[in-house]
Amino acid sequence: MSPHRLTLERRTAHRVATSAKLAALAVLVLSGVGCKSKPATEEAAASAQPSGEPTAPPLSTLVVDHGELDTVAPENAAQIAATQVATIVYAKPHKESRRLGYLRLGAIVKRDPEPMKKQVGECKGDWYHVYPMGYVCTEDATIDLEAPLVRATRRRAHTDKPLPYAYGFVRATAPQYLRVPTKAEQEKSEFGLQEHLKWYAENAAEVQKVDLGANDVPLDSRGIARPGVEHPPGFRLSTELSRSELFGGTGEEPAAPWWLEGGRKIPNVSGFNVPDYAIFADRVRRKTGLSFVDAFVAEEGGLERGFAVTVDMRLIPTTKVKPDTGSPFHGVELTGDIPVPFAFVITRDAKTYKLLRGKDQVKADGSLPRRAIVPVSGKARIKAGKRYYQTLKDPTRWMRAEDIGIVTPPREWPAVAEKGEKWIDVSLGQQTLVMYEGKRAWYATLVSTGKPRFGDPKTTNATPMGVFRLQSKHIAAVMDSEENSSVAGGKKAGGGGGPRYDDETRATIARLKKAEADGAKLNDEDRRRLANINRGRHPEYGVTQRRGAGGFELRDVPWIQYFEAGYALHGAYWHDVFGIPRSHGCINLSPIDARLAFMWTDPPLPPDWHGINIGDDMGQGTTVSVRE
pLDDT band at 163 (very low <50, low <70, confident <90, very high): very high
User: Which residues share a beta bridge with 389?
Assistant: 380, 399
Range 473-493 average pLDDT: 71
Range 446-459 average pLDDT: 93
pLDDT at 198: 96
User: Which residues share a beta bridge with 283?
Assistant: 175
Confidence check: pLDDT of 501 > 80: no
**pLDDT tens, residue by residue, 202-256:** 999 998 999 999 999 999 999 999 889 999 999 999 999 999 999 999 877 789 9
Query: Which residues touch 412 (CB under 8 Å, ≥6 apart)?
Result: none
- Give 328-378 as a 3 state SS string: CCCCEECCCCCCCCEEEECCCCCEEEEECCCCCCEEEEEECCCCEEEEEEE
Cα 609 to chain centroid, rounded = 19
| Element containing residue 432 per DSSP (H, E) | strand 432-437
pLDDT at 485: 61
| Residue type, position 9, single letter | E
Task: Tally DSSP H helices, then E strands, for the chain.
Answer: 10, 33
Q: How far apart, in whole angstroms, are the C-alpha atoms of residue 389 and residue 399? A: 5
Confidence check: pLDDT of 499 > 80: no
pLDDT at 575: 93
Confidence check: pLDDT of 99 > 90: yes
**Measured at the alpha carbon of residue 390, what is the angle toward residues 385 and 392, in degrees to the nearest 5?**
170
Task: Give the number of C-alpha atoms closer than 13 A to the C-alpha of residue 455, restricted to the C-beta side.
Answer: 21
Nearest to 594, CA basis, from 557, 545, 553: 557
Count the neighbouring beta carbons within 10 Å of the beta carbon of residue 140: 19
Give the SS3 label for residue 604. Answer: coil
Residue with more model confidence, 405 or 9: 405
Q: How far apart, in whole angstroms, are the C-alpha atoms of residue 126 and residue 135? A: 10
pLDDT at 39: 34
Range 440-454 average pLDDT: 95
| Residue type, position 201, single letter | A
Query: Which residues touch 158 (CB under 8 Å, ≥6 apart)?
Result: 164, 165
Give me the residue spans of the domains in the chain.
78-152, 155-324, 412-500+538-628, 503-534
User: Which residues share a beta bridge with 588?
Assistant: 448, 570
Confidence check: pLDDT of 524 > 80: no
pLDDT at 49: 34
pLDDT at 54: 59
User: Which residues share a beta bridge with 436?
Assistant: 423, 441
Query: Which residues touch 9 (CB under 8 Å, ≥6 apart)?
Result: none
Give first-to-last CA distance, the chain, whole Å: 57
- Superfamily grouping for domain 78-152: SH3 Domains (2.30.30.40)
pLDDT at 548: 44
pLDDT at 260: 97
Nearest to 108, CA basis, from 88, 81, 130: 81
CATH topology assigned to domain 412-500+538-628: L,D-transpeptidase catalytic domain-like (2.40.440)
Q: Kindly report which listed range (117-126, 219-228, 452-461, 475-484) carries the lowest average pLDDT score.
A: 475-484
Confidence check: pLDDT of 123 > 60: yes
- The DSSP 8-state label assigned to residue 545 in this structure reads B
- Give 75-144 as a 3 state SS string: CCCEEEEECCCEEEEECCCCCCCCEEEEEECCCEEEECCCCCCCCCCCCCCCEEEECCCCEEECCCEECC
Residue with more model confidence, 40 or 419: 419
Residue with more model confidence, 134 or 58: 134
Confidence check: pLDDT of 48 > 80: no
Q: How far apart, in whole angstroms, are the C-alpha atoms of residue 504 and residue 520? A: 20
**Topology agreement, domain 78-152 and domain 412-500+538-628:** no
pLDDT at 46: 32
Q: Kindly report which listed range (56-60, 332-336, 560-564) carries the lowest average pLDDT score.
A: 56-60
pLDDT at 526: 85
Compute the chain's Rg from CA coordinates.
26
pLDDT band at 10 (very low <50, low <70, confident <90, very high): very low
**pLDDT tens, residue by residue, 383-420:** 999 999 999 999 999 999 999 999 999 999 999 999 99
Count the neighbouring beta carbons within 10 Å of the beta carbon of residue 23: 18
Sign, Cα dihedral of 197, 201, 202, 206: positive
- Looking at the chain, the whole-number percentage of residues with pLDDT higher than 90 is 71
Confidence check: pLDDT of 481 > 90: no
pLDDT at 36: 35
**pLDDT tens, residue by residue, 256-294:** 999 999 999 999 999 899 999 999 999 999 889 999 999
Confidence check: pLDDT of 27 > 80: no
Each residue of 430-468: b (16+ CB within 10 Å) or e?
bbbbbbbbbeebbbbbbbbbbbbbebebeebbbbbeeeb
Do residues 376 and 391 make contact, with C-beta atoms less than 8 angstroms apart?
yes
Confidence check: pLDDT of 16 > 70: no
Confidence check: pLDDT of 302 > 80: yes
Q: How far apart, in whole angstroms, are the C-alpha atoms of residue 475 and residue 591? A: 12
Nearest to 450, CA basis, from 585, 322, 593, 276: 585
**Measured at the alpha carbon of residue 579, what is the angle toward residues 41 and 325, in degrees to the nearest 5?**
60
Query: Which residues touch 455 (CB under 8 Å, ≥6 apart)?
Result: 461, 462
Do residues 570 and 585 make contact, with C-beta atoms less than 8 angstroms apart?
no
User: Which residues share a beta bridge with 170?
Assistant: 321
Range 488-511 average pLDDT: 63
Confidence check: pLDDT of 7 > 90: no
Range 484-509 average pLDDT: 61
Tell me the pTM: 0.85
**Mean pLDDT across the chain, nearest whole number?**
87
Q: How far apart, in whole angstroms, are the C-alpha atoms of residue 588 and residue 570? A: 5
Confidence check: pLDDT of 517 > 80: no
